[in-house]
Structure 1
Amino acid sequence: MKTIAALEARLGALHERTRETPLFNPVFQLSLDLSRALEGGEISLDDMAALVAQLECEGLNNRAGKLRKLLAPPADEPGALAGDQTDFEAFREQWERPQLHAVFTAHPTFLLAPGQTAAVAEAASATATIDKTRCAAPPAREPVTLAYEHSEAMAAMARAQDARDAIVARLLDEARSRWPGNWQSFRPLPFRFASWVGYDMDGRTDIGWHTSIAFRLLEKAARLARYTASLEGFDPAHPLLDTLRPATAFAQARAQDFAQDLSGAEALAAAANRLTDHSPDNLLSLKPLIAALETEAEAAAPDRATLLLTLAAAMRADGLGMGWIHFRVNAKQLHNAIRRRLPEGEVIDLASKGALATLRRMVEDTRPLRTNFAALATESSTAIRQFIAMAQIIRHIDADAPIRMLVAECEQPATVLAALYFARLFGVEGKVDVSPLFETETALEHGGRFLDALLAEPAYRDYARKRGRVAIQTGFSDAGRFVGQIPASLAIERLQGRLAEAMAANGLSDVAALVFNTHGESMGRGAHPASLRDRLEWPLSPWARRRFARAGIRLEPEVSFQGGDGYLFFARPELALATLTRIADLRPAETDLTAPADPFYHRTDISLDFYRAIKEYQGDFLASRTYSRAVTAFGLGLLNPTGSRVSRRQSDINADREMSLRQIRAIPHNAILQQLGYPVNVIAGIGSAADSNREEIAALLVESPRGRQILRLALTANAVASIKTVAAFGELFNSAYWASRTYRGTEDHLAASCAALAEYLVGDDRTGVFRRLASRLRIDALKFHRLTDLLPEDGPAGDREAVRRRIGVLQALRLALLQHMFLKVVSAPAFSRANDISRRDVIEMVLTLRVDEALAQLRRAFPVRVPGPRDFPLDEASDYPDGGEEGYGAIERDFMTPIARANDLSLRISTAIANEFGAHG
């Protein structure tokens, strides 16, 4: 029981017993074996820590292997960026517009410590495995702050920029070799980058306006420094350096100004005036520099021309920042703001046609207002503040780069017109792309009508033509948890098709469609794990791309790389180059109009029914008290903190029992499903949806490229799923288990503790909840397996079984640790009620994994050291107390420290399990 091999062998033997007893649970039995060994002194927490450390290392290596495999080009894809293109103008058309916009977000997925991230990235870049010293448990991490997230985003973007430069130089060299007479007129722009770290206000109140301004100035300074370094690298005496160097210093100084405390009027005025005094060092546009570099390149030697054009391409792509920026607000914030601007006494219902007429008139009649930093500092409305901040950025930091305004939970066309009104009011209409987010079930269901109504508005059409694009955002996180990942992807796909139809119907085929698909890195949030091709096609399918192409609409695809998980693709220069090269090879902005029709979209009598049945099944889960209670049974206590937006814990002791699924964001929701052992929102419903028409659905899924893509996602998720694990968690709360554990005298030393737990849990509902959930999942899984029995084998099962066995051992170890915590807390001495917290409350805290709170209460009741005479500066001596000033050191040692250590190991197991799944949440 002290080696992983022994535990895996034992788990394998226990699995065989399910043939005799179908209800037998191998995972829970292994946890009982471990628990008995731990409580009996045969193994220690140190031994458990050694086992966890080894499994952590295997998880990190597995994570690195997944990333390496994802970025490796298949043998049948040669990867020549230029392809067989023979026409220079066609080549220019292909590469002078982005194949992809990549957005680096601050989603809370910073699960790995910096050393772990570096180890995974290094291993993914080579064929070596991570050694034990690199896998060592990281020291206690500092909280993940917004500043840390921003610095990580900027570092990832810098490596992405370097990789893009390498691709641009490669394209220029290719053009030079093929078209030597006119290659210097080639202006490659294969990728754009953006970030919303520090600009996303949806659900946040901890980001001040000055934070966004300071970050934008910091980004400007960093990018100018990188442009300067690039130019110095091949010409240290270039005359443009006389512009770039002082501009860099000016931006750095102003970034420091806005990073200070600006709560006082004088401090704000000083910082603002230094930025807005029209200093010649405040570079606001790169257009003159780009023109100078390109003009020089026309007469330069080929190698120097390539360097000049590569730098000019970087400037054209990024502007005066590390990339473009995305502000984000919630539709409700816009609604509250627009009500302040309505004519006196006028009230509108934003869902009504009257609202559209009112807002249409307001957009037409409005005249821009001047603003300054005082207006920004004193504005109380979040939405208005964002527009004023954009105006200041465009006026005083970067006059060229457009800014995206993402509107979350946007379900009414009037909301977009409200945003247009504020864009015009503050003079930024020509630089801001308003992008409604379609993610909720309601938004996806009614999104087609939304787009029809919005694009029929003359004010919006004029605005779209002015901007040169229609921008929308489709989200896979909340859609995936409320609709189910597969139905959500298919609903988003249909919405994208409706956008192409609406643009064509309203005469907007001459502008681009910018479709921002905000998926995460996990299966449950829209990242397809099978290949990079699948990853790019899952959120924006070939079918959807063809809809735009047939309408003559240029497509601008955009995806997000979310937080620590997403930044792994850019954690090293080699990874960044591999990531962008593979994306460029796959050309997500293009489509093949000659490809054979996919039967999935023509056999709608089968595929639509299949979609609706899965959606209905997933909807039943969302409405189910059983599912909600199971997911919230431990609150968020199974999860590590992974971002600056901390998940709020309820203050009431019993709040977790009543926690709604809608109180849990998509990332922690999916992360809890990973930890419980079954990605419900990916797999559940497929088997049941196919049950009545299994043969026909199986045939369609095999025949259809989209169908096979769905299967690859479901089968990958199923390979790491375990319904037995779901059921095992419920047994922790089984009063009969605890009452019977010492029944035959095998653990007499635990008799009192087990009896106390049995009595405490006699009315607890969680055992029944997990059993009902497991039963429902099992019925659906049986139907899923009947479906997959009709499908061809998808590959060797050896690796899958090894991963499942490893996850099973991790889960058994954690269940044993949780039992250790439960036994310790009920064995701790009673204490008098204080601060309205009783001993029973502390037990409930541990049972819902609010361990830090429980330990704080125990340490308040049993301090290790109590005040004594030496704490008082008295002249008179005292011989009493003669027993010293020790407090409850033994209680700390015997109860609190073991609980803390077990909880720490449990959270390390959470990281290891997330690595086996390939992402956090």
Structure 2
Amino acid sequence: MTTDPAAADRLSTQDTRPALLEELTRLLADARATAEQDPFANPIQLLATALGGRLAAGQVDEEALEGLVRRLTLDAFTGRAARLRAYLGEADPERNAAIVEGLIRKAATGPQGELVAFETFAARMERVHYGFVVTAHPTFSLSSALQRDLVSLAFGRDPSGAVLDEEARARLLERVEAAQHRPEERLDLDEEHRQAMIVVRHLRAALRRAHKIVLQVAAGLWPERWRALVPRLVSVASWVGYDTDGRSDIPWQASFGKRLAMQAEQLAHYAESVRGLRCGLAQGDPLGPLLELIEARLALALKSCEDECRAFASPDAESIARGARSMAAHRAFRMADAGELAGLLERALAAATTPEAACALAVLRAEVASLGLTAAATHVRINALQLHNALRRQTGMEHAPDDPAHRLTYLAAMTRLIEEARPVRINFGSIAQEKATARRAMMLVAQMLGHLDAAEPVRFLIAECETPVTLLAALYFAKLFGVEERIDISPLFETRKALERGVAILEGALAVPAWRDYVRARGRLCLQTGYSDAGRYLGQTAAAVAIERIRLGLAGLLARHGLEGIEVVIFDTHGESIGRGAHPESLAERLRYVDTPESRRRFEAAGLEVVQETSWQGGDGYLWFITEDSAFAVLTRVLEHVLEPLDEQPDAFYAERAYGDEFFAAVRLFNERVIEEPAYAALLGVYGSNLLYPSGSRPVRRQFDAGGRPAALDHPSQIRAIPHNAVLQQLGILANSIGGVGQAVAKDPDRFLALYRESPRFRRLMRMVEHAFMFTDLAVVKACLDRFDPGFWLTRAEAARDPAEHEELRTVAEHVERMGLHEKLGRIFRILQRDHMDLARALRTHRRLTRRAGERPIVVDAATRDNLHMLHALRLALIERLIRRAVRIPDFSDRHAATHDGLIEAVIRLEVEPALRLLAEIFPRLEAAGPPLDWGEPSTYPGDDGQSYAEEHARLFRPMARDHELVRRIGGAVVHHLGAIG
């Protein structure tokens, strides 16, 4: 029996965690009941206050608190797994194999059920219909172990493919509950590349399986001709390590090293495949010696590649130069063209005497055709400004390239440069000495093509491309470095100007003979569209419509320039969240949302072959490819999308052009006003990215100014799109997805409802909004922002009975007053609130009509809403405790380039880690230096041991770190509910 009088009131982990959760549920119900009666009551705030009181009184110990966070996180995690499973559709690998076989057989059949000509079938199987692009966007919110557990729980199979029984599932859940839901501790480019390689391997395995099905179907239908078939179907690409847009922390040798590592990986895979095939042959099979030859050739190439990988892994210039010399000296040993390996496999396939060996070789040959020597094609990305700066002196470009007063002059100068360009010879030293990013990037491409795989073209993506001059600048460098025949220059249309003028930009470039000749020679036109920045500047639905308008204008554009026969490659960089253009209902709907039936219909009518590419961004995107079975399920959904004939009728959305233009113009104008509203930057900056762990190798961190205060966020453009959207998610308002839609609906509600009923396209757009609306909660937003209202703290102080607590709360109020954020936050809240009210009214009417029509409206279930509200309230209670601890920090002098007030304000904004680093310097915790030495005479001076601040560390600093850790773990649980960061 305990003698502690407070023990009866304290909730411990072992026996009362369920009681704590039960009490939390009861408190939430009471808070909601109060709010229903009192319009000024906020249920999130009421629950947070009740929890905060229990924390302050010691009625909830740290173990119970930790257990509560783990339990709420586990519930959110299991809900995410269930949604993941439903989103993907069929997951059983055998059923998916049957689906793929059905698709292939249908492709071999004519409209009357007759067998099509082999040439017709081959033409369809040997082209690329879709491209997977693996990117390193900062969405790594979970460790690799938790990613595997999430996918295992979702699909009911462990990573090896074995079905989870009840015991295995229980062990998994126990492991998940005990884990900290956060990314890897070491989250740098190398870790991102490691995870990207897993994705590529599993996609490779999925594609091999699909190719085998194609070849088996062909062998049954055309037994005399099937060996000539080289299926491709989809492509795989990566920009992990090659994307230098907006970052200077990836040196050129690191990019080249990542590309080398990809090649080493693929060469080793090919060698293993050939070895396995050779070992399976009967003794004396004449194919054996030829396979030994191929295996030996691959081993030689792999040895060279591995040696060079080690050289380029070092930042040391001499090591890199040694690798470069080796590469030049051993050129004959290297394999620098996939055509060499393809030719060897052709010889082996001709010599194969058994169906099994022939099929295995045909699959391997198809893989070489699809993936080349590097498993994933290379996407290099830079910024348009970098291209302009690299040519500023040569073209006299002293003004913006699209300045109407100088645009034609710059176009003429760029055209002249292209006409006069003569290829130059470079080496790795040329790259090392080059200072201009654009030149260095194109040189790097030239060396990749020259030394690694000349048969696989490189994509050259240009961010913020807003003028034809940019495309011509890229073409000049491509011609200068001799790669214009093997590089695909692709503009990225994502800014408002680029989305509005995308077709005109391409038209301006095609009006220049040099660019038109380049496109005709390449046989393809490539472009990239972005949903992330576009979504936050225009609103996600308005961005999607603007992107589709570019697609719809391409057929006519190409016809006007006599380019009807070329291939069109459209790379849509959308992510896994609503905020980045991922449709929330299913993977099938997500594909239709981006690659719209109407645009497909128009391309088909114009006789254009289109390759649809989409990105799978960072940790959120990699989830789908954690296992070979899940990767094959994704590939199956993609093949269903691209191989199934269009079945949707003409859509009313495109006939209602005037209404659609006005509707999405209203959305766009609202978001443009919000983005330029200074109060919006204040909203994004109150906590910044501090509610979450860093989620990528390019984390967003605010720095301290000279006064020890965090540097202010002046405009949303100062943070990237994913952190921007992640802040909104954590505050409880998905503003970039719902913003402006309420006002657009309010203009003509009847017409809105009619178009919703009649148009599948409009319905898909609005279902995005409905889903975002269901995860938007103004009570959560208000409770978060009230922490920056001095009146909130003063009211609490007035109610406090304890004098020390009263003084502490008044001190917090004074700091919040000096920060001066409340007025700005109140203004932006009211702007968003008015729009939310309009949308809520429209959706209430819509839901009534939806129910009458027998459809199911999008709603968040009660358990999910309860869990979310508890998480938000618990986090607010922890933030309050953290802030109150911060004002107890002892005063100190300004000699540490930080003030006491600035440090407290940093903690109020949750800049806890840098604040604690400063505090560790200001208040050092000294450790014993070892046994004392004999100095020959006594001393009573205590020395530095008497100046140790161990008590402050134990009482304040470590608890503050622990609270912030729980705050960020709760942020991860909120992400589980939304399914993705940003």
TM-score range, shorter chain: over 0.9
Quickly say closer, same or farther: Cα 1:61–1:335, change in 2 above 3 A. same
Deviations, residues 303-361 of structure 1 (Å, cap 9, x unaligned) = 2221111101111111111211011111111011123444xx78686320122222112
Question: Larger deviation: 178-187 or 674-683?
Answer: 178-187
Equivalent position of 1:70 in the other structure:
87
Q: Write the letter of the residue equivalent to 1:475.
A: G
Q: Write the letter of the residue equivalent to 1:705.
A: P
Q: Write the letter of the residue equivalent to 2:334.
A: N
Alpha-carbon distance, 1:866 to partner: 7.3
TM-score by length of structure 2 reads 0.89
Deviations, residues 867-920 of structure 1 (Å, cap 9, x unaligned) = 889688856554543996462222111111111110000000111111110001
> Which residue of 916, 920, 924 maps to 1:859?
920
2-structure distance, mates of 1:288, 1:658: 54
Quickly say closer, same or farther: Cα 1:207–1:627, change in 2 above 3 A. same
Alpha-carbon distance, 1:295 to partner: 4.5
2:865 paired with 1:804? yes
Equivalent position of 1:320 in the other structure:
373
Equivalent position of 2:305 in the other structure:
251
- Partner SS state of residue 235, structure 1: helix
2:131 paired with 1:101? yes
Deviations, residues 637-675 of structure 1 (Å, cap 9, x unaligned) = 222111111324233144544432110100100000010
1-structure distance, mates of 2:661, 2:412: 36
2-structure distance, mates of 1:21, 1:838: 42
Equivalent position of 2:623 in the other structure:
568
Deviations, residues 256-314 of structure 1 (Å, cap 9, x unaligned) = 111124324xx443221100124432011222332332344355422222111110111
Paired residues for 1:517-536 under 5 Å: 517-536=572-591
1-structure distance, mates of 2:90, 2:856: 18
Equivalent position of 1:918 in the other structure:
979
> Which residue of 648, 654, 660 maps to 1:607?
660
Paired residues for 1:401-440 under 5 Å: 401-440=456-495
Quickly say closer, same or farther: Cα 1:763–1:378, change in 2 above 3 A. closer
Unaligned stretches of 5+ in structure 1? none
2-structure distance, mates of 1:311, 1:91: 20
- Partner SS state of residue 102, structure 1: strand
> Which residue of 774, 777, 798 maps to 1:719?
774
> Which residue of 114, 131, 144 maps to 2:144?
114
Paired residues for 1:6-17 under 5 Å: 6-17=23-34
Equivalent position of 2:178 in the other structure:
136
Equivalent position of 2:545 in the other structure:
490
Alpha-carbon distance, 1:715 to partner: 1.5
Paired residues for 1:25-64 under 5 Å: 25-64=42-81
Alpha-carbon distance, 1:778 to partner: 3.0
Alpha-carbon distance, 1:207 to partner: 1.1
The answer to whether the 8 A contact 2:230-2:369 is kept is no
Question: Larger deviation: 182-191 or 827-836?
Answer: 827-836
Quickly say closer, same or farther: Cα 1:738–1:177, change in 2 above 3 A. same
Paired residues for 1:505-654 under 5 Å: 505-587=560-642, 592=646, 595-652=648-705, 653-654=708-709
2:925 paired with 1:889? no
Deviations, residues 604-648 of structure 1 (Å, cap 9, x unaligned) = 122111111111111121122222211111233222111111324
The answer to whether the 8 A contact 1:200-1:329 is kept is yes
2-structure distance, mates of 1:363, 1:751: 74
The answer to whether the 8 A contact 1:116-1:135 is kept is no
Equivalent position of 1:192 in the other structure:
235
Equivalent position of 1:81 in the other structure:
103
The answer to whether the 8 A contact 2:603-2:609 is kept is yes
Alpha-carbon distance, 1:805 to partner: 1.7
Deviations, residues 419-447 of structure 1 (Å, cap 9, x unaligned) = 00110110101111000110001111122
Equivalent position of 1:350 in the other structure:
401
Q: Write the letter of the residue equivalent to 2:133.
A: V
The answer to whether the 8 A contact 1:497-1:544 is kept is yes
- Partner SS state of residue 587, structure 1: helix
Quickly say closer, same or farther: Cα 1:671–1:347, change in 2 above 3 A. closer
Q: CA RMSD in A?
A: 2.4
2-structure distance, mates of 1:872, 1:853: 37
> Which residue of 733, 740, 760 maps to 1:705?
760
2-structure distance, mates of 1:9, 1:100: 51
- Partner SS state of residue 421, structure 1: helix
The answer to whether the 8 A contact 1:635-1:656 is kept is no
Equivalent position of 2:6 in the other structure:
none
The answer to whether the 8 A contact 2:397-2:410 is kept is no
- Partner SS state of residue 538, structure 1: helix
Q: Write the letter of the residue equivalent to 1:48.
A: L
The answer to whether the 8 A contact 2:850-2:856 is kept is no
Question: Larger deviation: 542-551 or 389-398?
Answer: 542-551
> Which residue of 305, 330, 339 maps to 1:287?
339
Paired residues for 1:348-387 under 5 Å: 350-351=401-402, 352-387=407-442
Equivalent position of 2:275 in the other structure:
232
The answer to whether the 8 A contact 2:709-2:903 is kept is no
Question: Larger deviation: 57-66 or 144-153?
Answer: 57-66
2-structure distance, mates of 1:666, 1:383: 24
The answer to whether the 8 A contact 2:678-2:714 is kept is no
1-structure distance, mates of 2:722, 2:766: 23
- Partner SS state of residue 582, structure 2: coil
The answer to whether the 8 A contact 1:156-1:567 is kept is yes
TM-score by length of structure 1 reads 0.95
Unaligned stretches of 5+ in structure 2? 1-10, 12-16, 110-115, 158-163, 280-287
2-structure distance, mates of 1:636, 1:745: 32
2-structure distance, mates of 1:15, 1:353: 64
Equivalent position of 2:322 in the other structure:
270
The answer to whether the 8 A contact 1:8-1:806 is kept is no
Q: Write the letter of the residue equivalent to 1:173.
A: Q
2-structure distance, mates of 1:920, 1:346: 40
1-structure distance, mates of 2:943, 2:532: 63
2:221 paired with 1:166? no
2:280 paired with 1:221? no
1-structure distance, mates of 2:683, 2:783: 12
Deviations, residues 723-773 of structure 1 (Å, cap 9, x unaligned) = 110000121122222222243445555222112112322354433444433
Q: Write the letter of the residue equivalent to 1:309.
A: A
Deviations, residues 377-413 of structure 1 (Å, cap 9, x unaligned) = 1111111011111111111121111001000111110
> Which residue of 663, 670, 680 maps to 2:735?
680
Alpha-carbon distance, 1:783 to partner: 2.0
2-structure distance, mates of 1:248, 1:894: 57
- Partner SS state of residue 585, structure 2: coil
Question: Larger deviation: 761-770 or 852-861?
Answer: 761-770
2-structure distance, mates of 1:222, 1:876: 68
> Which residue of 863, 882, 888 maps to 1:821?
882
Equivalent position of 2:968 in the other structure:
907
The answer to whether the 8 A contact 2:691-2:968 is kept is yes
- Partner SS state of residue 335, structure 1: helix
Quickly say closer, same or farther: Cα 1:5–1:575, change in 2 above 3 A. farther
Equivalent position of 1:792 in the other structure:
850
2-structure distance, mates of 1:767, 1:591: 56
2-structure distance, mates of 1:20, 1:26: 11
Alpha-carbon distance, 1:19 to partner: 2.2
